[in-house]
Structure 1
Amino acid sequence: MSAMAHEPLSQEETLLEGFLALETPQGFRAELIEGEIVVTPPPSGRHERWLSRIALQVARKSEVVMDASGNRGLEVPRGGLCPKNHVIPDVVFARLELDLFDDDESWMPCDGVAMVVEVTSGQPERDRTAKRHCYARGGIPLYLLIDRENETVTLFAEPEGDDYQADCRRPFGKPIELPAPFSFTLETGDFA
């Protein structure tokens, strides 16, 4: 018997295979964003405080009951020359009745996700640009960006192609309106 010849993997397939095989230290997370493997350390306390304040307001004020997950990986359609992106938002919100977080898979499609939230990291341009494009390509209706460096909160809406068609930016301390299905004013007074 002769062994079947296997076609060599493309550069994109090799990158994706290597990424999926990564084992990161506890607390760290690895993402594949626009063809680049990104490993980030555990977040700071302030980072987590902002996320907690947002989650509390969503739980108390949202028009619809929302489920939330931190560190849930999303598979996002590819863009440009990169393989399928694998991104991990700081928080993913979805309607509770959809049960999007009930499976045991590490990575899930973007279908049904209502909003993702990011707090800028040590490389803020990745959150401001690359991840914004990923979330738009995934058709995620809302992307809320907490920008530590600029001390702003930006809500991106109306995804179309590689970007969002609308955005609303407020400085820390000023409220920002979250549209349906949330339908409430997010207070940012304690972000500063």
Structure 2
Amino acid sequence: MTAVRPQMLVTQFEELVRHAARTAEAVRLEFLHGRLSAKAPLDGNAACTLQWLTRACVRERPELSLNSGQGLAVGARREGRARPDGSLAPSEAFAGQGEWADPAPVLMVVEVTSYDSDTDRRDRVDKPRAYAETGIPVSLLIDRDTCEVKVHSRPDDGRYETVQTLPFGKEVTLPDPIGITLDTEPLKNWVR
């Protein structure tokens, strides 16, 4: 694999984010594999999707919380910055953490595809790779373009060894350490 030349340093990225936070609320910036990207804000259907998942997780695992928008330091050396749509972790895992939290307590990250031009690369390629490099046990992609859920698990050597793809409407079991089975039928309601 060839080395990616960073567009900027992580310190420059963090300064840009601080400035953006003072000037615009709608932009969610991320920094993955040395590249800057802007993530679209959640639309109503994506928000409904995350609410559905939050209810399912709380019902089955009340000791966990699905945190939306918490930034994580990701990648093998924690030089990336990602804002998963959801991070499933013990309820108090991010207490006292700053904008870019330590990902160690995260059991699962969740991404819901947006309808912007960068979603293919960001949500289907860059983020699963960054989350696997970080060692996050499970990465759940809710892909509204293909009407599928993808469960990435067993991170090893910078990639997930197992990827299970199921169409909306099927039951999906999130592997350990999650251990929750989801009926994905409601996801059909929140696509274009």
Q: TM-score range by the shorter chain?
A: 0.7 to 0.9
DSSP 3-state at the match of 1:113: coil
Q: Deviations over 1:16-46 (max 9, x none)?
A: 2221111221132111011111112321101
Q: Equivalent residue for 2:52?
A: 53
The Cα shift of 1:125 comes to 2.5
The Cα shift of 1:14 comes to 4.6
The Cα shift of 1:100 comes to 1.5
Q: Structure 1 counterpart of 2:136, which letter?
A: I
Q: Say whether the 8 Å CA contact 2:65–2:88 is kept in structure 1.
A: yes
Q: Residue 77 of structure 1 is aligned with which of 75, 78, 81? A: 75
Percent of residue pairs identical: 30
* CA 13–174 in structure 1, closer or farther in 2 if over 3 Å, else same: closer
The Cα shift of 1:124 comes to 2.3
Tell me, in whole angstroms, the C-alpha distance in 1 between the residues paired with 2:123 and 2:161.
17
Q: Equivalent residue for 2:155?
A: 159
* Higher Rg of the two aligned structures: 1
Task: Tell me how many residue pairs correspond in the alignment.
Answer: 176
* CA 33–51 in structure 1, closer or farther in 2 if over 3 Å, else same: same
Q: Deviations over 1:119-177 (max 9, x none)?
A: 11222231111100000011000000001111100111000021100121110111100
Q: Structure 1 counterpart of 2:55, which letter?
A: L
Matched, 1:92 2:87: yes
* CA 165–13 in structure 1, closer or farther in 2 if over 3 Å, else same: same
Q: Deviations over 1:34-85 (max 9, x none)?
A: 11111123211011111111111000123x6202211111111347xxx811
Task: Could you tell me which runs of 5 or more consecutive residues in structure 1 were left unpaired when the two chains were aligned.
Answer: 1-10
The Cα shift of 1:109 comes to 1.7
TM-score by length of 1: 0.85
TM-score by length of 2: 0.85
Tell me, in whole angstroms, the C-alpha distance in 1 between the residues paired with 2:104 and 2:90.
11
Matched, 1:16 2:10: yes
Tell me, in whole angstroms, the C-alpha distance in 2 between the residues paired with 1:138 and 1:78.
5
Tell me, in whole angstroms, the C-alpha distance in 2 between the residues paired with 1:70 and 1:113.
12
Matched, 1:133 2:126: no
* CA 78–158 in structure 1, closer or farther in 2 if over 3 Å, else same: closer
DSSP 3-state at the match of 1:191: helix
Tell me, in whole angstroms, the C-alpha distance in 1 between the residues paired with 2:76 and 2:107.
20
DSSP 3-state at the match of 2:9: helix
Task: Could you tell me which runs of 5 or more consecutive residues in structure 2 were left unpaired when the two chains were aligned.
Answer: none
Q: CA RMSD in A?
A: 1.9
Q: Residue 138 of structure 2 is aligned with which of 132, 139, 142? A: 142
